Amino acid sequence: MTQTRRSFLKTGAALMGALPFARALPAAAATDTLVVVSGQTINSLDLHRTGTNRASYQIAVNCYDRLVTFGQKEAPGGGLSYDYAKIEPELAENWTISQDGLTLTFTLKDATFQDGSKVTAHDVKWSFDRAVTVGGFPTTQMKAGGLERPDQFEAVDDKTFVVKLDRPSKLSLPDLAVPVPFIINSALAKSHATEADPWAMEYLHKNTIGSGAYSVSRWTPGQQVVYERFDGWVGGPAPKVKRIIVREVPSAATQRALVERGDVQVAFDIPDKDAAELADSLTVVSTPIENCIHALCLNTNFAPFTDPEVRKAIACAVPYESIFQAAAYERGAPLWGGPAEITDTAWPRKSPYDTDLEKAKAHMAASGHADGFDVTLSISTDLATWMEPAALLIQEAVGKIGINATVEKIPGANWRTACLVEKRLAMHLENFGGWLNTPDYYFFWAYQKGHLFNSSNYYNEEVEQLTNETLHMAMDDPEYAPKIERMFRIAFEDLPRIPLYQPALNVAMNGAEGYEFWFHRQLDVRSLGAAES
């Protein structure tokens, strides 16, 4: 049901009792403020910073512009979604692509940063230089679109920005619409830079200096972030809400209680169980996450996971159906029990493995670890709603083939560093979803050596070559499909990542509307508004 206007107008008073952080906020009309709860932890305001976690991506989305953005469409199952097939202007007024596909020329809108200074192509140049230089995830993401070096970017004048590619790529323009290439107020950033910190990483860690729809007026790590609307934004339709508070509430039960009572208007990324149960009384949107897989990952830097027989034994022991019921409440799509023969490039796709304890025991007997071993199975507290039930079921299942797994819970704020940056977790659950919706892009991130989401430390020379060959290849090239199908076969044979299921992203609303799903799986507050009474 939709919350009544009367109950919505009482939200401010309810907040005073339910959420302590609201006491510090100035008085405002109820329609000026929306409150969101999420179990995720924002650990930085700068996506380019090493170790910045997924929850923090929303800062770049809401507070900064990119040159272009994706369009909008109706989402599967209801609600709105981004449209990967449609590229639209954001900071750029328009753009042209040369006939050979190697030169992209952008003309900027007349835009200002939130401090009132003019946005110029020189700011875009500095921001792109930063993204391809700082290293880690941002630099690799830029590379996926063929954006690798500062000499590829030119500010011709204040309003004209040029990108020069080494080769044409189907990913270059879409890659400019992801959160990473956000445009920074370079003059302000440089004023806070030092010789040791030429990109002002420390300043942007705690401050937003963009031209986006919102700025962060307050960030209390581990508690909340407060967005204030920037009325000078020209990147899209003016947001309806002046202030949006995103409150970190680790307890899923508390999130549910707050949104059910109407004390908050949005509960973001709620568990599948709650989504199923709340759908009869609140507005609940559940969107399948494109190019995303929940997986059990086996770190090939750790014995005995260098043994392919052990990896196959685990794949045959995993209780897939039970996990899908207990962790996903059957929301999303199964990714097990597929055909052995691969004849298309659909992704995500079902692996050929299914639960078969006898096969699992046979693989263990054929391995170099027939007597079993001890191992730690790591999960994130931020993602415990699906990871914990999955981990407990996996723990029980692998115990039947001699593997003694101890479940370790790692705080969400530390998960990205431990799992993805340091890649030090022997056996763990992970849920990578590729931003650019092609299988070669997924492999670029999750199967190539050293790349962020390859938390299994996997390396296969042929997969490296095939990924490099297909990443920029047109999908209608006759060589594309055979190469992709070969990649799939190798991945299912080597099994550094054991697919479990394709998840859905669930959002409950009580007094809000306008939620739009995005591939980055973070909240775009720009489209939110108060629900009609």
- Domains of the chain as residue ranges with CATH: 1-62+212-289+504-533 (3.40.190.10), 65-211 (3.90.76.10), 294-502 (3.10.105.10)
pLDDT exceeds cutoff 60 at 476: yes
Mean pLDDT score, 101-106: 97
Q: pLDDT at position 533, please? A: 65
How does pLDDT run across 381-408, given as a tens digit for each residue? 988 989 999 999 999 999 999 999 999 9
Q: Note the pLDDT of residue 385.
A: 87
So what's the pLDDT on residue 7? Answer: 33
pLDDT band at 31 (very low <50, low <70, confident <90, very high): low
What average pLDDT does range 55-74 have in this prediction? 97
Q: Give the number of other CB atoms < 10 A from CB of residue 380.
A: 25
Q: How do 266-268 and 33-38 pair as beta strands?
A: parallel
Give the other-Cβ count within 10 Å of 436's Cβ. 22
What value does the mean pLDDT of the chain take? 92
* Cβ atoms of 210 and 63 closer than 8 Å: yes
Asked if residue 21 has pLDDT above 50, the reply is no
pLDDT at 25 over 90: no
Sorting pLDDT into bands at 50, 70 and 90, what band is 12?
A: very low
Partner residues linked to 517 by β-bridges: 81
Question: Mean pLDDT across the stretch 212-216?
Answer: 98
> Do residues 162 and 129 lie in contact, with contact meaning Cβ atoms separated by under 8 Å?
no
Please report the pLDDT score of residue 30 as a whole number: 46
pLDDT > 90: percent of the chain: 88
Answer whether 260's CB lies under 8 Å from 510's CB.
yes
* 3-state secondary structure (DSSP) of residue 320: helix
Kindly state the average pLDDT of the residues 517-528.
Answer: 95
What tens digit of pLDDT does each residue of 288-329 get? Answer: 898 999 999 999 999 999 999 999 999 999 999 999 999 999
Entry field: residues in the chain: 533
Model confidence band, residue 17 (pLDDT cutoffs 50, 70, 90): very low
Does residue 8 register a pLDDT over 50? no
Q: What is the pLDDT of residue 130?
A: 98
SS3 content of the chain, % helix, strand, coil (to 5): 35, 25, 45
Residue 80 pLDDT > 80, yes or no? yes
Are the CB atoms for 267 and 256 separated by under 8 Å? yes
333, β-bridge pairs: 502
Give me 487's structure tokens: 């990649």
Residue 11 has pLDDT above 50, yes or no: no
The answer to whether residues 87 and 71 touch, using CB atoms and an 8 Å cutoff, is yes
- Measured CA to CA in angstroms, residue 160 lies from 62, 96, 183, 205, 483 at distances of 24, 11, 14, 29, 38
Number of H helices, E strands in the chain: 18, 22
Which of 244, 304, 344 minimizes the C-alpha distance to 38?
Answer: 244
Q: Contact 309/366 with Cβ under 8 angstroms?
A: yes
Least confident of 55-59, 117-121, 330-334, 500-504: 330-334
Q: What is the DSSP letter of 418?
A: I
Q: Is residue 432's pLDDT more than 50?
A: yes
Residue 292: exposure state from Cβ atoms within 10 A (0-12, 13-18, ≥19): buried
Q: Output the six-digit token pair for 362.
A: 């046979």
pLDDT given for residue 15 in this prediction: 37
pLDDT category of residue 19 using cuts at 50, 70 and 90: very low
pLDDT digit string, tens, across residues 167-205: 999 999 999 999 999 999 999 999 999 999 999 999 999
Residues near 93 by beta carbon (within 8 Å), at least 6 away in sequence = 107, 108, 109
pLDDT tens digits along 329-386: 988 889 999 999 999 999 999 999 999 999 999 999 999 999 999 999 999 998 898 9
Residues forming a β-bridge with 378: 408, 428
- φ, ψ for residue 163 (rounded to 5)? -115, 130
Using the Cα atoms of residue 320, residue 323, residue 329 and residue 331 in order, give the sign of their dihedral: negative
Summarised one tens digit per residue, pLDDT across range 123-154 is 999 999 999 999 999 999 999 999 999 999 99
Q: What is the pLDDT of residue 13?
A: 37
Give strand pairing partners of 342: none
What mean pLDDT is predicted for residues 48-75?
A: 95
Question: Looking at the predicted structure, is the pLDDT value of residue 54 above 90?
Answer: no
